Amino acid sequence: MQVNTGTGCHLEADMVARGLAELKPPLGSVVMIENVGNLVCPAMFDLGERAKVVIFSVTEGEDKPLKYPHMFRAASIMLLSKIDLLPHLEFDVARAISHAREVNPDIVVFQVSVRSGDGLKDWYRWLRNEFNKSREATFA
């Protein structure tokens, strides 16, 4: 479902609430919110999410966590994406992760490639674990 932010650069909680009311996900569903735009505005707004995830592509340069610290500080998870392109780029994975942990020592990092499938099992395992924790808390 698409929620149009109009001239805004980010989603807000009331926009998500209206979208959820229209979507009507069944109890126990997992809803993922893609807050597009830049790496500044989305970090500043709580949408009621269980975890904030930043998707950081290896094509962007390893300096992004230092350039946009608010997003990386707000995120629980960093998906370092497009790792299948690493042989073709000048990108230092260890340095990128170090920069992310400089602004957020607790950030969990998954290196993933949708093309090759590398790293996706670990990411999916994390999602399943969080889903199960949420269900246990709901039905306890």
Ordered by start, the domain boundaries in the chain are 50-139
Q: Give the Cα separation of 93 and 65 in Å (integer).
A: 12
2-21 as b/e: b if 16+ CB within 10 A: ebeeeeeebbeeebbeeebe
Our CA angle for 33, 39, 40, nearest 5°, is: 105
Short-list 55, 40, 53, 31, CA closest to 8: 40
> What rounded mean pLDDT belongs to the chain?
86
What homologous superfamily is domain 50-139 in, according to CATH? Answer: P-loop containing nucleotide triphosphate hydrolases (3.40.50.300)
Q: Which two tokens stand for residue 12?
A: 């807000």
What pLDDT shows up at residue 40? Answer: 65
Asked if the model's pLDDT at residue 45 lies above 80, the reply is no
Q: Is the pLDDT of residue 22 over 90?
A: no
Report pTM. 0.83
Q: Region 93-106: what's the mean pLDDT?
A: 98
Q: Which residue has better confidence, 137 or 140?
A: 137
